[in-house]
A and B are shown apart, each in its own frame.
Chain A
Amino acid sequence: MYDFKRKDKLSFVLKASLALLAFSASFFSSNAYATAAFSRQTGESCATCHMQGYGPWLTEYGTKFKLDGYVAGDAAKVPTLLNNFSAEIVSSVTNVASAVPQGTYFQNSKYASNAQTNVLNDWDAIYYTGRVLPKVGVYFQINFTPQTSRSISLSMADMRFADHFSFEGHNVQYGITANNAPTMSDTWMTSFAWMYPYTTSSGAVAPNATPWLQQLMASPTSVGMTAYTKIDNHWYFEAGGYSNQSIAMGQGFGQAMNLGANDAIVGGAGYWRVYWDQVFGAHHIMFGSYGLTGNVAPNIAGQIPGQNYSVATTGTSSKQEVNLDSNYSYMMDEKNMFMVMWRYTHDSIKNAAYLQTNNGVNASDALNNDMLMGMWTYEKTYNLAFAWNHQWGTADMALYNNGSPITGSANGSPNSNSFLVEVDYIPFGKGKFLTDPYFNMRLSLQYWAYTQFNGATTNYDGFGRNAGQNNTTYFVTNINF
């Protein structure tokens, strides 16, 4: 062990103090116009990059900033290695129409609750985001979930190199990104990494069936690399590959790799993204597609990939997901903004013979998901949104029925239908308050109503639970500093 001499100790203490002071100064530097590291780096308000003064809805500049590799700006008051830190606290009150018994979502007894209403610290995060080299930037988010899962994990990771050139009058942005989930590299809210609603309750009950890319984003157990280019600020192309993290790597990142949360990628899976967007005066429109194709070890109730069975003996299933998405926004005037977005997702899987024989899964399954959302934002401060989410597909008892009350599906169907209403208030982030340099905040009130859940409207779990009993009212505060 290194033996500190007195001089070394003093030096160490001095350096640590200086670093701490500089670190503190990075949070309280007054001329940056918002608190996130990006804002301190560029010197610009959060609203410069985010339509509502708080992420993730990106402006054109926000999109460009990301595709350029998070490197723009020279306003950081301290070295970028320190400036890149920021933090977020997310706390909420959740009311589920009918109580969720102990153990359904809490994984420990200490904080278990039978109450309909729960006050939660959903998660906290330490971010490390921004330029690290002239053409290299990063976005790291480490999550702390003190109550619902009591875990520390690498939630989002995106490291990218980016540059640009001109070719026969065409402007070409390009880059390479390494990240921990498909769509992490994306810039639209119709991608699963950044999809609306921005925050959902940790204390609510969600349908069993979820699209593949949503699984991989909710529990980021993959790792991959893609290359992208955007031409003339209209055409975007991205392609690359993902693989499952090893159990050791995933556990190192805080992921529950042995719990079978995802349809784990076996070998490599190919990812693509293409879209076209165009601005017509105050109108901005986008059409696109993205997806993933590869072999998986399916997430089957009772199976623990890597522990209970070996892919070598069970075989693998082949899986594809295709998404179509579109976004339209209209800047009616300086105060009123409207947005409509739509996404359609189609998953198809062909299950390995072993799994059909031993686990009773279908030879093939399909899952479809449709999302339509409309939003009105006033003065980048007040937001009103309505959304509809419809999911339907092949019934498969082995995949979707875990036999449990509340989370089970008596008929094995993935079908769900829900409506969402959300009101947001973002008072800061526009560079008009003295508090803007110190922190940013979003208050949200959300109501999620189910007309169908895990395959039925009434008694969907076989234990008497109705879809409407999972209706959730959620008040959540996001604070970023």
Chain B
Amino acid sequence: MQMTPHNTIQRTLIMSQKLKRQTSLWMFLFSGIFTGPLQADVDTPVEDTAYLLCGGCHGPNNIRTMEDMGPNIIGQKKGYISKQLRAFRDGKRSHPSMNGAMEPYSDKNIDDLASFFANATVDLPGSQSTNKNSDPTDPSPQKHEH
């Protein structure tokens, strides 16, 4: 699903994201050092990214624990997660945290993350295991606990 700008504020935010990306690109081309190719694979293990980065806003083990935190993502469909993460990365969907967090990740990184969340389950005291959309053909972990 591609988000369509529906008001001035959102259009401004999206334009701001695009401008930032363009500025960033020129900064990279100008500096040209240490950066390597854009969107090269990030080598942080997908489990660590899921726990350290995603888990911060989407709750411990990616279960939301507070009203203002991000939505649950464990058990979400792989295709949906992939598409949304690409939209955040490419500035087609605007969110001040997600745009920046996703910016370094390649298509492969995003697909790996999407597979991980689509197939992972979690057991927390007082919570029910969540995994309604696992793909048995997917090689990603079938159960992951932190």
Contact = CB atoms under 8 A, between A and B. Distances in A.
B33 A331 contact: no
Contact of A31 (B20, B52, B55, B57): B20
A115 interface: no
Interface string B133-145: 0000000000001
Given A42-B53, A42-B100, A169-B145, 19 more contacts: A18-B33, A21-B33, A29-B27, A32-B100, A33-B97, A43-B99, A43-B100, A61-B69, A65-B52, A74-B104, A75-B100, A78-B35, A79-B34, A171-B145, A233-B60, A281-B67, A282-B67, A331-B66, A431-B97
27 contacts: A18-B33, A25-B31, A31-B20, A31-B21, A31-B99, A32-B100, A33-B99, A43-B99, A43-B101, A44-B97, A48-B57, A60-B65, A65-B56, A68-B52, A71-B52, A73-B53, A74-B42, A75-B103, A77-B28, A165-B146, A166-B146, A279-B65, A281-B66, A431-B99, A432-B16, A434-B16, A434-B23
Contact of A45 (B34, B44, B100, B123): B100
Interface of B: 13, 16, 19-21, 23-24, 27-28, 31, 33-35, 42, 44, 48-49, 51-53, 55-57, 60-61, 65-69, 96-97, 99-105, 123-125, 145-146
Lowest 5 CB-CB distances: which A-B pairs, in order? A431-B96, A43-B100, A61-B56, A72-B52, A30-B24
Contact of A169 (B56, B69, B102, B124): B124
B68 A331 contact: yes
Interface string A20-62: 0110110011111100000100111101100000000000110
Given A29-B24, A60-B66, A21 B31 contact: yes
B21 A72 contact: no
A232 B124 CA distance: 8
A75 B34 contact: no
Contacts of A25: 27-28, 31, 33
A170 interface: yes
Given A74-B49, A432-B13, A284 B66 contact: yes
Contacts of B44: 74, 134
Interface of A: 18, 21-22, 24-25, 28-33, 39, 42-45, 47-48, 60-61, 64-65, 68, 71-75, 77-79, 82, 134, 164-166, 169-171, 232-233, 279, 281-282, 284, 331, 334, 430-434, 437
Given A31-B20, A232-B124, A431 B100 contact: yes
Contacts of B42: 74
A64 B50 CA distance: 13
Contact of B96 (A33, A60, A170, A284): A33
Interface hub of A60, A78, A232, A282 (most chain B Cβ within 10 A): A60
B144 to A, nearest CB: 9
A122 to B, nearest CB: 30
Contact of A22 (B31, B56, B65): B31
Contacts of A232: 60, 124-125
B60 A171 contact: yes
A164 B146 contact: yes
Contacts of A44: 96-97, 100-101
B105 A171 contact: no
A359 to B, nearest CB: 52
B120 to A, nearest CB: 12
A443 B48 CA distance: 37
Most-contacted residue by chain A among B21, B66, B69 (CB, 10 A): B66
B24 to A, nearest CB: 4
Interface centre among B20, B56, B105 (most CB of A within 10 A): B56
B64 to A, nearest CB: 10
A45 B97 contact: yes
B96 A45 contact: yes
B40 to A, nearest CB: 11
Contacts of B104: 43, 74-75
Contact of A171 (B35, B68, B102, B146): B146
B69 A164 contact: no
Contacts of A78: 33-35
Contacts of B23: 30, 434
A218 B19 CA distance: 43
Contacts of B68: 282, 331, 334
B67 A331 contact: yes
